[in-house]
Structures are given as structure tokens and as C-alpha cells.
Amino acid sequence: MRLSERGALRAGLADQVQGHRNPLAALGRFVYKVLVIAELDARKLRHDPTELFMRAVQPTLWLLVFGQVFTRVRAIPTGDIRYLDFMAPGILAQSVLFISIFYGISVIWERDLGILHKFLVSPTPRTALVLGKALSAGVRGLVQGLFIYLLALILGVRVNWHPLALAGVLLTVMLGAAIFSTFSLIIACLVKTRERFMGIGQVLTMPLFFASNAIYPIAIMPGWLQVISRVNPLSYQVDALRALMLAGGVSGFGLGMDFLVLFAVVAALVGIGARLYPTIVT
């Protein structure tokens, strides 16, 4: 197209922009932009998927080494189910947590580069930017999920293959990734530098993981830790995964409660994140 032809296009764009008051169209555009932000991340992964494989190493070690050994020891009371089966959903939740909790570092990296400035200057709602990030963390989480299902298959974990159960796992993984990536983004907006973020990220990850029902039941914890693990969203994610992923799995809190908590936490964190996001460039 010649430069001189572009004037006509500009008139067309002006008409189209006029439409931005219609609420339904606005919602459509909002969802579209969330998807565009996630598309950006998916394109990056397509160019260089090595990270996905690197990320699969840690959960593999947990299941193969820790899981195998503790299954033999029988130190942890897990009722009728084998320990390895008990911990498989916990390790899925853990790998989603680990992938998401360092999402903030990429935000700081983009800020340092100047990429973030361009997104914030574009007419993209802040909430769409934050939700788009959450969605892309979810996509990465799903890839982890694939690896873990594959391992579970190899290790003989009794997996529930019912399509509804699989859909439930998918939703739970997306919600968990959204929670911890947005949490991470909020931390990034508050601490602003990579060094501080790395320090805080390390400090947060371990308590989140160990003060949850990921690798042992809440019932065997001391009272104070039980309290913490009951307010830890990871516990609800693990609980839902345990009920949905395993054949004959049961939920401790009730699936309704799990999803209520997960959705509420996502909504609250995305709200806070969208408010804080613009402050990261100041």
C-alpha cells in the first residue's frame, strides 16, 4: 500500500473508534485484548519452547524420587490411596505455583526494557493486561499438567479420565496459575527491582507450598499450621485437583467451596493488580 492511500483508512478507523461506547462491543474488545496478551506469550513459547521442558524437570524429580521413597516409607497417612497417588495432584499444583510465582520477574524485565511502557500507553484496559498475563501463566501451567499426567500414567497413578473431570482439572490449573501469577505481579509492582523480587519470591514460595495440603494432609499438621493452610489458596487448588484428577478422589472442603475460594481470590488479586500495574513504570 502506498503512503498516500492510508488517509482513507484513517477515516475508516475514526468511524470504528466511535463504536467504543456500546457496552457489549466493549466487553468483546476487552476479551479480545486479554486473548491478544496471551497470544503474545504463546508466540514467544513457539519460538523458544525450551523453558517448558526445563520447567518439567523439577516436578519429575519430586514424583520420581520423593514420591517413590515416601510411598515405600508409608510415613504419611493418606487413607485408602497410595501416597504417590495422593501427592500427584499436589505436585501438579506445585509446578503451577512455581511457574506462576516468578511471573513477576518477567514483568520487571519488560519494564527495564521499556516494553511495558508501550503496553501501558496503548488503549488497553489495565485489567485486560493483568488478566492476559494470568491467562498466559495458565497456558504454561497446562503444559506442565500434560507432563504430569504423562508421568502419572507411567507411574501407575489411578487417574480419572472422565472428560468432565479433565475439564475440571484444566479450570483448576488455570485458576491456580491466575492466582499466583497475579500475586507475583503485585509483588513486582511493589518491590520494583529484580534483586528484591528474587529474594521475596524465594521467601514466599516455600511457605506457600509447605503450609498447604500438597504433600501431606492438613489433619497431621500442628494447629497453627492448619490455620495457615486453610487460608492458603494453594490448599483449595490442591483439594480440587485431588478430587478431580484421581479415580475415586474426594474433596476435603467440597468442590463448590474450592471453586468459590479460587474465583474470589482471582477476582480480588486481578483488581489489585490492575490498580498497581501502572505504578511499576513510575
Q: Which residues bind other proteins (CB under 8 A)?
A: 1, 3-4, 6-7, 9-10, 12-13, 16-17, 20, 29, 32-33, 36, 39-40, 43-44, 47-48, 112-115, 117-124, 278, 281-282
The three cell numbers locating residue 230: 486453610
Return the number of the residue (157 or 185) whose C-beta is nearest other proteins: 185
> What cell does 248 get?
475415586
- How many other CB atoms are found less than 10 A from the CB of residue 204? 16
CA 198 to chain centre: 18
C-alpha to C-alpha distance for 120 and 24, rounded to whole angstroms: 23
CB of 227: closest distance to other proteins in angstroms? 40
In 3-state terms, what secondary structure has residue 48? coil
Q: How far is the CB of 97 from other proteins (least distance, A)?
A: 24
In the complex, what is the shortest distance from the CB of residue 33 to other proteins, in angstroms, rounded to a whole number?
6
**Is the CB of 115 or the CB of 153 nearer to other proteins?**
115
Which CB atom, from 12 or from 79, has the smaller least distance to other proteins? 12
Shortest Å distance, C-beta 196 to other proteins: 14
Residue position matching grid coordinates 503485585: 186
Under a CB-based contact definition with an 8 Å cutoff, are residues 162 and 248 in contact?
no
Rounded to a whole number of angstroms, the minimum distance from the CB of residue 202 to other proteins is 24
Spatial separation of the C-alpha atoms in residues 228 and 211, rounded to whole Å? 6
Quote the CA–CA distance of 1 and 220 in Å, as a whole number.
70
**Among residues 7 and 79, whose Cβ is nearest to other proteins?**
7
Between 120 and 255, name the residue whose CB sits nearer to other proteins.
120
